[in-house]
Structure 1
Amino acid sequence: MSETRIPTPRAPVWLSLLPLIASLAFLARPGVVLALPGQTSGLAAAATIPRPIGTPTATQLAPREPTPATGDVRDDRIAPPQDSLIFTLHAAPDATGWTSSLDNRGHVYMPGIHVGFFKGHVYYGALQFDLSSLPASSAIHAATLELTGLDAQRLSAGGSWRVNLLAPAADDLWPTLPYDQLRSATTEATIGPAFTAADLAQNPVTTFDFDPAAIEALQRHVGRGVASFRLDGPMSEPDNLFTWDSGYHKGSESGVAPILRIVAVPLPATATPTYVLITSTPTPANILTVAAVFKAATAQAVIGVFPPSTQLPHNWVTPVIVTNTPTPENRVTATWIEAVSTAWAFVYGAPTPLPANIWTATPISPTPAPTATATFTATPRPTPLPLLIPLAQLVLPATPTATPGPQPIPDILRGKIAFVSDRLGAADLFVMDPDGSHMALLTQRYPYDQALERDSEAADGLRRALVKPNDRGVPQIVMVDARYNVTLEITRLTGPAYDPAWAPNRDRIAFVSTEPGNDEIYTVNVDGSDLRRLTYNTWEWDKHPSWSPDGAQVVFYSNRDTGRQQIWVMNADGSAQRNLTNDRFNNWDPVWIK
């Protein structure tokens, strides 16, 4: 990465034209509609939200190298000091998105960042920037966050929009972005002033300036290498929604991604700190050891003679002992572990990073410890422990019992559709017959989890459909064959593909893709041939397909028609689509138990 030195405190004159140039370029973009100056109530609210490309994913793309700016930060009020550097950081597609109360999950790999209120639901924007290009010793002098507007059609009069820098505890919410957790995340600083609907409608580029308190908060994130932001807007009636550009469009990055500009002065690097390892006092192995330690301490207290003690040094640390992951026994196992890890990260996010004070344990052969004799000049001597203790006075350990294996799915559940619903106020599991009748609460989770796992398996149990990023970092459906230790690509789309389900009676996969601009359901043969699109929507999404036991039907969930998530079913060719639940609750993630 190249660095740009700032020779003088004042920015070049031509930089003052950047906002005008950006405005003209924005207004010339096809499909972008902004409110015009002088309109009193915003543009007429559209009936639907533009469905962005994207799906929650924890697939880790290669980190983009931040490039320093060729000039100054756009705000002419910033006078950077000598020897400072300008860092221009772009938010990556898997770190840019939104979440809403509609489905309580994140949406990344999408063109728009929805923020505000629409049709009874609150939308939060989410941004995360990689700060690893900044030297850890850098002192931040100034910073701005620049967002480019994409759609103002759903703005109405009133309301305000702001950006909040979140505490480090929120960093792990990306990219799954659960709504409830992002909404309640601790805020460290509010960036810049709040913008009104009129401001957003008339200014295609929104610039949020960091004040001294926000700069101080951002400075604390440099050492962690990441900064996370939440975009807030109106949270109640009337409908008032604004959409910023994420920079991700139809499998490419042709848009204008959010930009974080930082003016920083690198400070001289400090020496690598040294630490004194302090281990915790071992827990006594049994009650006899506890008694011996207690008697020795009592004797020392009686005579007032204690072993010498040493105060802890300032640079002490208690190590966290970790062990290396066992090496797979063969290539088949290694391939399987890699595929499962990728799928896990795609659904649940990246694993928690290791703490700074880890210590890798190296197995060694035990060496007998030398016998040491402690001498105390004390009167009276502690009462020695008896040589023998009657068995009746000892508490013997309980006889270990074998851990039961996984239970089979009860026959009474086979052929039923299991799904998640909030009808009782929380996310609970329910089952129903294929026609939507005889709904019942499922009190144990294991049948649902087993059915969900089997959905991605072939009937032979040796092949599995998984999600894996291709060479462009876009998640696609692959087939892992444990017999021949091979991984074959099934889909080759420009948009992400996910939620694979293997037909129980043939080699055909149902899955979800954002290829058309919103989440739709497709089917394809395992060899990649005969790709068919089964659902067609404008902005609504269809997700989580699951085959019927005979392979003749597919169940899924959708927010079409009602705006709420409902369980739908259709024939394997996409015909006869019908709503099974059709109620006032949210119902999602169906699995047809086989």
Structure 2
Amino acid sequence: MRVRLKICGAVLAASVLVGSALHASSKPRENVTNASDRDYPAAKLSTLRGKIAYSPGVHAHSLWVMSFDGSHRRQITHAGAHADFDPDWSPDGKNIVFRTERGRYDSNNTGAQGIFVVNTKTLRERQIQPRTGGLFPAWAPNGKRIAFTGLNPTCCGEVIVTSKPDGSDKRIVKLPTAAGECLAWSPDSTKLAFCGHQGDGNWAVWVMNADGSNPHQLTHPRAIEPAGTGGDSPSAWSPDGKQIIYWSWQPAGGELFVVNSDGSDAHQLTHWDGGDEATNWL
């Protein structure tokens, strides 16, 4: 799952089309970043300012922001020979939490990297997750907490961690699965959607309360070999919190689906060649 989420194509176009309306798949897609098909997936919309944060990838691995139409591009981090990616806006549009390879945290090949926050005006950065690293940071819509996947400090596998935006008050959230990644907050900041599996690498969409209570599995993908190469992962909640857009490797190639937050009425949204991923619901 960690690798698959790094190599989708046309990520910005997919997020704009799905976000504008669920029936918008008939419109042509436009690549406003001029990025290649193997860039880091990063299109995240700031609802306050109508801006997008992205990582071009390939030859430029730092974070950039731009207006919704592709104008006013501005670099906000400097990753050097490494990579900054997986950005997510603070609700007030002033800060971005992101994942970075600059610290080389992945010493044991787990996929975990450092989690940082950058102020988009001053460009000042602060680290909120130390050398144990983390995955898939997501900022709660109420602005009070950031969630990310971390490595279990007492045993093995993964846990979900939430903290205040300054990195303090870290809380480990118990998972109902062996692994939990691809985090997405509900609009009221009370729930987390995530992709999880029970040790078999068959990722499914789950939802639980932000404190880890009341977990339930929404999707039930069939197993794909080799393990870990398929399954489902959530992308975004609808503004009313009643539905979740998720990405699925089934059918082959990767398409977008929507499911009610109770797991009912799952149906396919897109039927494009090449696969789709990294959406936002506008």
TM (norm. structure 1) is 0.27
TM-aligned CA distance change 1:592 to 1:469, over 3 Å: same
1:452 Cα deviation (Å)?
5.5
Aligned CA RMSD, in angstroms, stands at: 2.9
Pick aligned residue for 2:242 from 538, 552, 577:
552
More strand by share: 2
How many residue pairs get matched?
A: 176
Please say if residues 142 and 189 of structure 2, whose CA atoms lie closer than 8 Å, have aligned partners that are also in contact: no
Output aligned runs, 1:293-308, within 5 Å.
none
1:509 Cα deviation (Å)?
0.4
Question: For structure 1, which runs of at least 5 residues remain unmatched after alignment?
Answer: 1-54, 57-104, 108-175, 179-419
Q: Which residue of structure 2 lines up, in the alignment, with residue 443 of structure 1?
A: 32
Q: Which residue of structure 2 lines up, in the alignment, with residue 590 of structure 1?
A: 279
TM-aligned CA distance change 1:543 to 1:448, over 3 Å: farther
Output aligned runs, 1:76-475, within 5 Å.
105=3, 421=9, 429-430=13-14, 431-432=16-17, 433-437=20-24, 438-444=27-33, 447=52, 449=54, 453-454=88-89, 456-470=138-152, 471-475=154-158
* 1:541 maps onto 2:231 in alignment: yes
* 1:570 maps onto 2:259 in alignment: yes
Where 1:538 maps in the other structure, the secondary structure is coil
1:485 Cα deviation (Å)?
2.5
The CA distance in 1 between the partners of 2:9 and 2:23, in whole Å, is 14
The CA distance in 2 between the partners of 1:440 and 1:482, in whole Å, is 34
Q: Deviations over 1:568-593 (max 9, x none)?
A: 11111121111111133311222224
TM-aligned CA distance change 1:575 to 1:530, over 3 Å: same
1:440 Cα deviation (Å)?
3.5
TM-aligned CA distance change 1:468 to 1:434, over 3 Å: same
1:516 Cα deviation (Å)?
6.4
Q: Greater Rg, structure 1 or structure 2? A: 1
Q: Deviations over 1:395-433 (max 9, x none)?
A: xxxxxxxxxxxxxxxxxxxxxxxxx646xxxx6633213
TM (norm. structure 2) is 0.54
Output aligned runs, 1:9-88, within 5 Å.
55-56=1-2
TM-aligned CA distance change 1:559 to 1:494, over 3 Å: closer
Q: Which residue of structure 1 lines up, in the alignment, with residue 197 of structure 2?
A: 514
The CA distance in 2 between the partners of 1:537 and 1:460, in whole Å, is 32
TM-aligned CA distance change 1:106 to 1:421, over 3 Å: closer
User: Which amino acid is 1:527 matched to?
Assistant: D
TM-aligned CA distance change 1:512 to 1:488, over 3 Å: same
User: Which amino acid is 1:492 matched to?
Assistant: L
User: Which amino acid is 1:429 matched to?
Assistant: A
1:484 Cα deviation (Å)?
9.3
TM-aligned CA distance change 1:478 to 1:439, over 3 Å: farther
TM-aligned CA distance change 1:580 to 1:452, over 3 Å: farther
More helix by share: 1
The CA distance in 1 between the partners of 2:276 and 2:240, in whole Å, is 24
Pick aligned residue for 2:180 from 497, 505, 529:
497
Q: Deviations over 1:74-126 (max 9, x none)?
A: xxxxxxxxxxxxxxxxxxxxxxxxxxxxxxx369xxxxxxxxxxxxxxxxxxx
User: Which amino acid is 2:270 matched to?
Assistant: T
The CA distance in 2 between the partners of 1:572 and 1:493, in whole Å, is 17
Where 1:429 maps in the other structure, the secondary structure is helix
Where 1:435 maps in the other structure, the secondary structure is coil
Please say if residues 465 and 500 of structure 1, whose CA atoms lie closer than 8 Å, have aligned partners that are also in contact: yes
1:436 Cα deviation (Å)?
3.3
The CA distance in 2 between the partners of 1:506 and 1:428, in whole Å, is 24
Please say if residues 496 and 513 of structure 1, whose CA atoms lie closer than 8 Å, have aligned partners that are also in contact: yes
TM-aligned CA distance change 1:429 to 1:581, over 3 Å: same
